[in-house]
């Protein structure tokens, strides 16, 4: 018995392996490789794939799983923090793009309805491509990543009203206003369900499921939650992708979110590949080769217009020039929901055959260009930032309220500068406050700046890649600079600028990428902290401690690992002669704690009476009594109820002596 779709899947994956291998050799992004696979295998290429509709269905699943994982990583708290960017930034970007496209289309003789509909199509960006690139580059939490995600969320929501308005643009009559109000009511209902589920229902449900310790049951429960919420939003007229994102937000509020994410990732990667391949199948190469100049010109025009509108929307929200340019460039492509919307336009004759093919060709080309644009975006933004523009434009329009930084900075000497006030930045600031170290924070999230200034934190709004911002923070008088931001390109720039402005400042940079360690050292960083390697350092430190390796040897080992740029981790075959004396000491001995329970037979007896060492072969190192530690107790020390004894001995001897400390009734029972 043959399964037609199975042969199609084998062809797709087999061809993908070949194309992706070639792309890897040529250092071409994987997304472009998937698009090329779709172009080659699709109906306009070699025609290897016949079941195009089935592939599109698998592609929908990929988008759902992608948005689901983004929701898990993002969390409701993060969404609340960017609500201003969603409502204002998203609406500005969409509205400005529609207006510019409307004007241009009208100049070329299109009707008003057709022009507005084209504005709808152009205004939407690709959530799947942008978020996948952000995840690969670990930039979801960067300022431009959060702003881009906020606009994408708005676009995913606004596509539904656009579909409802399409018949009106075509001249059809109907109660569109009533439909929009009904949709709004259903949307509010979904939000209420999400909030209730996130805080009360899902955490309790996942707790009961986790107690079963069944991996299969847990995975199925997560998958059902994802698709159930996606189906719910789809059934009331919203998009599947938005529902999947909301499902991820629901699970993100539970302590099981990390396990859920790790279980979903393999499925997401497989099905997401279908999405990019299905997009490539839409491109008609014959049509592109007939009109190469026209399609290239329109594609460049779309990229330019969307870069300008996206940048302008971000600028009006007060973001610095560099961030606004990055947002504009990253959102410059046409999105996947535009394809869905375009079919509605075909149904109502707002697009004819040639215009539709032109739209498809331009959209796929802008999508294929996106990975390259994202790579070039930091360089473009940096080049534009070097132009002699007004400082207010470079640093952002956002007024810095509250604390007068200039007055307080005059008293700062030998201080610490913290770039970025995320989790790491907050922890550094908290430690500095406890230690009495003067510090100053530079942050690019306006809401964070406002709320922290109300708490009298010495924080101000600015982009640290601008020399003026670092100078305002007193870089020349600072002793230490900590760069704790989720933007690799900006981290490199800040490091280089700080080293140039103050050769004596001690620069500590955090990075998520192993390949960033060496370049940051070359740019002048004194220490580079890669997150994965530091986690490994902490783990093996605890392992060596458990094996009773002397603390001096452990510290020596850690120092050599860090000074060598974590070469031991990056090159497993590398050995270091200076570490050859790092051996495991007395592995047959264990140090543990035993508690003296109420009713134990040893209560009131002394150490000499019990003879732990002579009779049981166990040595008493210390007694913890309430909040006090009594080290090396003498022979006359008496045991009291609830004492915690720290003992040393072999595991079997400790197990044998443990019965002394239990309640006598428990032993008899």
* Contact predicate 364/287, CB 8 Å: no
pLDDT in tens, 625-661: 887 888 888 888 888 888 888 888 888 888 888 877 7
Which pLDDT does position 330 carry in this prediction? 92
pLDDT in tens, 441-463: 998 877 788 788 888 788 887 78
Task: For residue 290, give the H/E element and its range.
Answer: helix 285-290
For the beta carbon of residue 349, count every other beta carbon within 10 angstroms: 11
Which pLDDT does position 4 carry in this prediction? 67
Look at 27-31, 176-180, 216-220, 611-615 and tell me which has the smallest mean pLDDT: 176-180
Within 8 A by CB and 6+ apart from 296, the residues are 365
Look at 38-52, 542-556, 604-618 and tell me which has the smallest mean pLDDT: 542-556
Q: Is the pLDDT of residue 172 over 70?
A: no
For the beta carbon of residue 507, count every other beta carbon within 10 angstroms: 24
Q: Is the pLDDT of residue 568 over 70?
A: no
Distance CA 96, CA 155 (A): 13
For the beta carbon of residue 144, count every other beta carbon within 10 angstroms: 28
Look at 89-103, 161-175, 647-661 and tell me which has the smallest mean pLDDT: 161-175
Using 50, 70 and 90 to split pLDDT, how confident is the model at 120? very high
**Helix residue ranges, H only, 170-291:** 176-196, 202-211, 215-235, 240-252, 257-281, 285-290
Mean pLDDT of 498-516: 86
Burial 569-580 (b: 16+ CB within 10 A, else e): beeeeeeeeeee
Residue whose pair of structure tokens reads 């049951």 in the numeric block: 217
Distance CA 589, CA 617 (A): 11
Mean pLDDT of 29-45: 84
Using 50, 70 and 90 to split pLDDT, how confident is the model at 96? very high
pLDDT in tens, 375-427: 898 889 888 877 877 777 777 665 444 334 444 555 678 889 999 888 888 88
Displacement of CA 113 from its chain's centroid (Å): 39
Kindly report the average pLDDT of the chain as a whole number. Answer: 80
* Contact predicate 659/621, CB 8 Å: no
Pair of tokens at residue 416:
């610490």
Give how far Cα 36 sits from Cα of 23, 29, 277, 285, 320, Å. Answer: 10, 11, 8, 11, 36
- Put the strands of the sheet holding 459-461 in their side by side order: 459-461, 439-443, 416-419, 480-483, 506-511, 527-530
Which pLDDT does position 564 carry in this prediction? 63
Which pLDDT does position 92 carry in this prediction? 92
In DSSP terms, 461 is beta-bridged to: 443
In DSSP terms, 509 is beta-bridged to: 483, 528
Higher pLDDT, 310 or 3: 310
Q: Is 399 helix (H, G, I), strand (E, B) or coil?
A: coil
Distance CA 59, CA 65 (A): 10
Q: What is the number of alpha carbons within 13 Å of residue 659 lying toward its C-beta?
A: 9
- CATH class for domain 4-385? mainly alpha
Mean pLDDT of 290-319: 91
In DSSP terms, 574 is beta-bridged to: none
Task: For residue 41, give the H/E element and its range.
Answer: helix 30-41
Helices (H) then strands (E): counts for the chain:
32, 10
Q: What is the CATH number of domain 590-668?
A: 3.30.70.1450
pLDDT in tens, 198-238: 778 888 888 888 888 788 888 888 888 888 888 888 887 77
Name the segment(s) of the chain with CATH classification 3.40.50.720. 398-525
Name the segment(s) of the chain with CATH classification 3.30.70.1450. 590-668
Distance CA 86, CA 245 (A): 14
Which pLDDT does position 180 carry in this prediction? 62
For the beta carbon of residue 267, count every other beta carbon within 10 angstroms: 17
Displacement of CA 337 from its chain's centroid (Å): 23
Look at 151-160, 575-584, 594-603 and tell me which has the smallest mean pLDDT: 575-584
Pair of tokens at residue 191:
């939000």
* Contact predicate 582/643, CB 8 Å: no
In DSSP terms, 480 is beta-bridged to: 416, 506
Which pLDDT does position 100 carry in this prediction? 93
pTM for the structure as a whole = 0.64
- CATH class for domain 398-525? alpha beta
Distance CA 167, CA 183 (A): 16
Look at 34-43, 258-267, 302-311 and tell me which has the smallest mean pLDDT: 258-267
Which pLDDT does position 108 carry in this prediction? 86
Pair of tokens at residue 93:
């970007």
Using 50, 70 and 90 to split pLDDT, how confident is the model at 176? low
Name the segment(s) of the chain with CATH classification 1.20.1530.20. 4-385
- Which of 546, 548, 543, 513 lies closest to 531, judged by CA? 513
Which pLDDT does position 401 carry in this prediction? 41
* Contact predicate 453/478, CB 8 Å: no
* Contact predicate 527/480, CB 8 Å: no
Mean pLDDT of 151-171: 79
Mean pLDDT of 286-301: 90
Using 50, 70 and 90 to split pLDDT, how confident is the model at 563? low
Which pLDDT does position 276 carry in this prediction? 80
* pLDDT > 90 fraction of the chain, expressed in percent and rounded: 12
* DSSP per-residue codes, 307-373: HHHHHHHHHHTT--HHHHHHHHHHT-SPPHHHHHHHHHHHHTTSS-HHHHHHHHHHHHHHHHHHHHH
* Contact predicate 314/89, CB 8 Å: yes
For the beta carbon of residue 617, count every other beta carbon within 10 angstroms: 14
- From the CA atom positions of the chain, what is the Rg in Å? 31
Sign for the CA dihedral angle at 430, 436, 441, 447 comes to: positive
Mean pLDDT of 564-587: 52
Which pLDDT does position 101 carry in this prediction? 93
Look at 103-107, 429-433, 651-655 and tell me which has the smallest mean pLDDT: 651-655
* Contact predicate 326/377, CB 8 Å: yes
Per-residue three-class SS string for 443-511: ECCHHHHHHHHHCCCCEEECCCCCHHHHHHCCHHHCCEEEECCCCHHHHHHHHHHHHHHCCCCEEEEEE
Look at 256-270, 285-299, 561-575, 624-638 and tell me which has the smallest mean pLDDT: 561-575
């Amino acid at each position: 018995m043959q399964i037609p779709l199975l042969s199609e899947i084998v062809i797709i994956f087999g061809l993908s392996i070949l194309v992706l291998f070639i792309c890897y050799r040529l250092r071409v992004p994987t997304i472009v490789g998937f698009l090329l696979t779709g172009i080659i295998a699709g109906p306009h290429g070699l025609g290897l794939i016949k079941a195009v509709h089935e592939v599109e269905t698998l592609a929908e699943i990929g988008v759902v799983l992608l948005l689901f994982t983004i929701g898990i990583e993002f969390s409701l708290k993060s969404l609340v923090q960017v609500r201003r960017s969603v409502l204002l930034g998203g609406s500005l970007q969409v509205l400005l793009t529609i207006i510019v496209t409307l004007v241009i289309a009208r100049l070329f003789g299109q009707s008003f309805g057709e022009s507005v509909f084209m504005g709808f199509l152009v205004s939407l960006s690709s959530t799947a491509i942008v978020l996948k690139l952000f995840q690969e580059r670990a930039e979801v939490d960067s300022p431009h990543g959060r702003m881009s995600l906020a606009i994408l969320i708005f676009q995913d929501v606004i596509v539904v009203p656009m579909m409802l308005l399409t018949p009106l643009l075509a001249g059809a009559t109907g109660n569109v206003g009533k439909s929009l109000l009904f949709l709004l009511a259903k949307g509010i209902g979904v939000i209420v369900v999400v909030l209730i589920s996130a805080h009360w229902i899902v955490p309790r449900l996942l707790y009961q499921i986790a107690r079963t310790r069944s991996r299969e049951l847990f995975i199925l429960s997560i998958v059902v939650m994802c698709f159930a919420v996606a189906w719910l939003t789809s059934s009331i007229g919203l998009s599947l992708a938005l529902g999947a994102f909301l499902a991820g937000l629901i699970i993100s509020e539970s302590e099981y979110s990390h396990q859920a994410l790790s279980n979903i990732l393999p499925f997401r990667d497989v099905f997401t590949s279908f999405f990019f391949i299905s997009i490539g199948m839409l491109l008609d190469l014959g049509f592109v080769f007939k009109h190469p100049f026209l399609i290239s010109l329109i594609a460049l025009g779309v990229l330019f217009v969307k870069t300008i509108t996206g940048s302008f929307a971000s600028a009006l929200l007060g973001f610095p020039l560099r961030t606004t340019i990055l947002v504009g460039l990253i959102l410059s492509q046409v999105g996947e929901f535009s394809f869905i919307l375009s079919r509605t336009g075909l149904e109502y004759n707002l697009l004819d055959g040639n215009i539709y093919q032109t739209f498809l060709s331009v959209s796929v080309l802008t999508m294929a260009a996106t990975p390259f644009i994202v790579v070039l975006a930091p360089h473009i933004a940096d080049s534009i930032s070097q132009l002699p523009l007004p400082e207010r434009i470079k640093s952002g329009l956002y007024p810095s309220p509250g604390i007068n930084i200039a007055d307080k900075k005059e008293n700062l000497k030998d201080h610490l500068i913290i770039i970025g006030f995320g989790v790491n930045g907050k922890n550094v600031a908290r430690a500095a406050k406890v230690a009495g170290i003067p510090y100053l924070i530079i942050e690019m999230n306006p809401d964070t700046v406002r709320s922290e200034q109300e708490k009298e934190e010495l924080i101000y709004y600015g982009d640290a890649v601008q020399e003026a911002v670092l100078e305002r923070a007193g870089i020349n008088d600072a002793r230490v600079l900590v760069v704790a931001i989720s933007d690799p390109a900006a981290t490199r720039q800040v490091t280089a600028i700080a080293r140039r402005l103050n050769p004596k400042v001690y620069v500590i940079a955090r990075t998520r990428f192993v390949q960033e360690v060496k370049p940051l050292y070359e740019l002048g960083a004194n220490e580079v902290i890669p997150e994965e390697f530091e986690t490994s350092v902490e783990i093996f430190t605890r392992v060596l401690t458990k094996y009773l390796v002397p603390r001096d040897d452990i510290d020596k080992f850690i120092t050599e690992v860090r000074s060598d740029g974590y070469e031991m981790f990056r090159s497993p075959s590398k050995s270091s002669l200076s570490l050859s004396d790092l051996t495991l000491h007395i592995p047959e001995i264990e140090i543990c704690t035993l508690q003296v329970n109420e009713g134990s037979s040893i209560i009131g007896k002394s150490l000499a009476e019990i003879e732990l060492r002579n009779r049981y072969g166990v040595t008493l190192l210390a007694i913890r009594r309430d909040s006090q530690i009594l080290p090396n107790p003498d022979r006359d020390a008496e045991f009291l109820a609830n004492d915690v004894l720290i003992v040393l001995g072999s595991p079997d001897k400790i197990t044998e002596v443990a019965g002394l400390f239990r309640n006598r009734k428990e032993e008899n029972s």
